A and B are shown apart, each in its own frame.
Chain A
Amino acid sequence: MCSKLLSTEWGPMQIRSGIAVSPGVAIGPAFMLGVEDFRIPDDTVSVDAVESEIIRLRCALENVASEISANEALASKHLGKEYAAIFAAHQQFVRDPKLLEKIESLIQNQHQTPEHAASQVLRKYAKELQNLGDKYLAERAVDIFDLERSLLRHLLGEQREELSHLKAPVIVLAHNLTPSETAGLNPKFVQGFVTEVGGSTSHTAILAGALEIPAIVGVGDFLTDISGGEMIIIDGNEGRLIIAPDEETQQKYQLVQQRFRSEHQARQKYGLGRAQTLDNVDIEVCGNIEFPEEAKSCKKRGADGIGLYRTEFLYLGALKERTEEDHYEAYLEVLKRFPDEPVTIRTLDVGADKIPDAMMHVYGDKSNPELGLRSIRVSLEYTDLFKTQLRAILRAAVHGRIRVMFPLISSLSEFRQAKMVLRDVCEDLEDQNIEFNPDIPVGMMVEVPSAALMAEEFAREVDFFSIGTNDLIQYTLAADRSDPAVSKYYNASDPSVLFLVRRVLRAAQAADIPVSVCGQMSSDPKFLPLLLGMGLRQFSVTPQAVAPIKQLIRKVSIEECKELAKRVYELDLARDIENFLRAELKRFLPEENENRRN
């Protein structure tokens, strides 16, 4: 009954696909971001409020009309009558008797709110225009969306709800979410999100994993099909977005959701205890975190430590500079959960898609930010900022097993420069008689091809390596990790990438220094046997991956992994490698496939 109503109200069910970046299933009403953050209330109006709601609609339309008149007068004065004519046409749209009739009918007969009804009717018109097969008329849909925005602005007025003021569970739909917007999502109300753009290793995607809400990115244009409030299903396992699902689909996904939750819970037990392969080789599985609070969930999931703490997230969304104490407290919070385990703190990795509001002035409109001033380059350019963080790290290191790691190192001189700043900070602290740990291990991320190529030289100077596959892939293959247009070029299975990873692992082994992989590759089960076969013994994965990765480690032997790796070295196409790894994974986890098929 309910679904019948839904499908007539919202049009037929639509299924779209995108890149699954955070698993799970979410079902809830659509909340559109990007239409100037309008939250269209999806509740209905009571029968006795219908009259007053219709008056409210008419007032809003009247206001929009006078706004257009004002614009028309301005255009006529400054641009000439030719341009003003367009506003006259817009005026006629607002005053279209059919428009009013349709919106009022939805309010009167279906008791929809004016916001909802107006949005729905206008979007339907816009869509019809787009489907006429006339390019000129299709472009006029933009005018209709404009009209919708003006009308909503007048209707919602003071009632405009911001994302941060959500009071009920929703599914967030947006063209794009910046990492700071993502970080600001309240998982209590935001059950999942879907964006039109974005790639699987963009920072937004990483944050979705951290928030533990199902998410899909890179779906392509879909927002124009939605007016807000529709029932939405996100299948974060398969990367499917379902708009206005029919009853059968809803029931199916409720079951999938339940099963995912119970499997998820059952799986947690695999996280506990150390993970050893069948031939008794001990493997360390640490967690990657963005916020100190995540240390708790890492601990619960059985992480052997923190392999990557992305500290820049402390800055995102913050309007002012972070102080040494802000850093220090955040680090202590992590140490509270991992007092005796390794905690690897990566210094600020800002730039590209992660620019804190407080640092916007540093970045102009750069057309190629991934190759610009980002990460360690920012720290070396703005040493005060860098020193503030290093002081906090050195002080916190008194209380636990902290390691410090510099991101995006591309040359030996850069690493030496960063280390020099660290030594300066040690001297300052000593002069000031402040307690700190001068002996913390200093390592680097290997994520620029130049660093991987020079791994042997670096291995003589660093205390440890951590391979950041996300950036390594994008720089090796020249494919922006957050641009869906080049996502087919961004491929973790590419032999060139695997060649570089192998090179770094060998250099670390030869120099006898620890090495881990902290990029998405290490959280992806299909790469686990290969990485083990290549010689990797330390993994740092997203918190949700700790248990499944440990579970898989316990099912393989180093011997068979070495054999598998040898066969991969013989393949020269990314596609072949990927298919081979997938097939091998099925061999290791037959029961997983059984579950998937059901």
Chain B
Amino acid sequence: MSDSQPIQRTVRLKIVQGLHIRACSGVVAIMDGFEGRVQIHYGNKSADASSMFDLMLLAALPNSELSLEAEGEGSELILDQIEDFLSHPSVPQD
């Protein structure tokens, strides 16, 4: 039930290059298949986590603080994944 309420989390962006194209691409890939909505706030800007354009335009710098907000089925899980992804220095190469 708690999934229907938006949940929030704060994450420090550890990816060395910040939210550059590869990092944005990684976030969008995580979002793939998720039915709900995730917003990422940085400073006074916000981005839809499934939009490459939105994420790039955040231009979030390394070591900055991002606040994540998710709603919909499986919100906790998706935020876990995004948090994990953003907290590692390099974008994993699979």
Instruction: Please report A residues at the B interface, Cβ cutoff 8 Å.
Output: 81-82, 85-86, 88-89, 92-93, 96-99, 125, 128-129, 132-134, 136-137, 140, 143
Contact = CB atoms under 8 A, between A and B. Distances in A.
Given A125-B53, A132-B57, A140-B21, 13 more contacts: A81-B94, A85-B22, A86-B21, A88-B25, A89-B52, A92-B24, A92-B25, A93-B52, A97-B50, A129-B57, A136-B20, A137-B59, A140-B56
B25 A96 contact: no
Task: Point out which of A132, A134, A137 has the most chain B C-beta atoms below 10 A from its C-beta.
Answer: A137
B28 interface: yes
Contacts of B20: 136-137
Nearest to B27: A92
B17 interface: yes
A96 B48 CA distance: 10
B93 A81 contact: yes
Given A81-B93, A82-B93, A97-B48, A89 B57 contact: no
User: By DSSP majority rule, is chain A's interface helix, strand, loop, or mixed?
Assistant: helix
Contacts of B59: 132-134, 137
A86 B94 CA distance: 14
B24 A89 contact: yes
B17 A136 contact: yes
Contact of B21 (A82, A89, A128): A89
B65 interface: no
A136 B20 CA distance: 8
A151 to B, nearest CB: 14
A322 to B, nearest CB: 52
Interface in B53-71: 53-54, 56-57, 59
A81 B59 CA distance: 25
Interface residues of B, number: 19
30 contacts: A81-B93, A85-B22, A88-B25, A88-B29, A89-B21, A89-B25, A89-B52, A92-B25, A92-B28, A92-B29, A96-B28, A96-B51, A96-B52, A96-B53, A97-B50, A97-B51, A98-B53, A98-B54, A99-B51, A125-B53, A125-B57, A128-B57, A129-B56, A129-B57, A132-B57, A132-B59, A133-B59, A137-B20, A137-B59, A140-B56
A101 to B, nearest CB: 9
Contacts of B17: 136
Interface of B: 17, 20-22, 24-25, 28-29, 48, 50-54, 56-57, 59, 93-94
Task: Point out which of B52, B53, B54 has the most chain A C-beta atoms below 10 A from its C-beta.
Answer: B53
Contacts of B29: 88, 92
A136 B23 CA distance: 13
A6 to B, nearest CB: 25
A93 B93 contact: no
A469 to B, nearest CB: 51
A82 B17 CA distance: 16
A99 B25 CA distance: 15
A93 B28 CA distance: 10
A96 B50 CA distance: 7
A474 B25 CA distance: 51
B45 to A, nearest CB: 10
Contacts of B51: 96-99
Contacts of A136: 17, 20
Nearest to B94: A81
Contact of A85 (B25, B48, B54): B25
Given A81-B93, A98-B48, A93 B53 contact: yes
A222 to B, nearest CB: 23
A121 to B, nearest CB: 9
A106 to B, nearest CB: 15
Contacts of A132: 57, 59
Contacts of A81: 93-94
Task: Point out which of A96, A132, A133 has the most chain B C-beta atoms below 10 A from its C-beta.
Answer: A96
A383 to B, nearest CB: 58
A134 B56 CA distance: 11
Nearest to A99: B53
A140 B24 CA distance: 13
Contacts of A125: 53, 57
A436 B86 CA distance: 85
Contacts of A86: 21
A82 B25 CA distance: 13
Nearest to B54: A98
A209 B93 CA distance: 58
Nearest to A89: B25
A148 to B, nearest CB: 13
A310 to B, nearest CB: 50
A96 B31 CA distance: 12
A98 B22 CA distance: 19
A87 to B, nearest CB: 10
Nearest to B50: A97
Contacts of A92: 24-25, 28-29, 52
Contacts of A134: 59
A132 B60 CA distance: 10
Contacts of A82: 93
Task: Point out which of A89, A97, A136 has the most chain B C-beta atoms below 10 A from its C-beta.
Answer: A89
B52 A137 contact: no
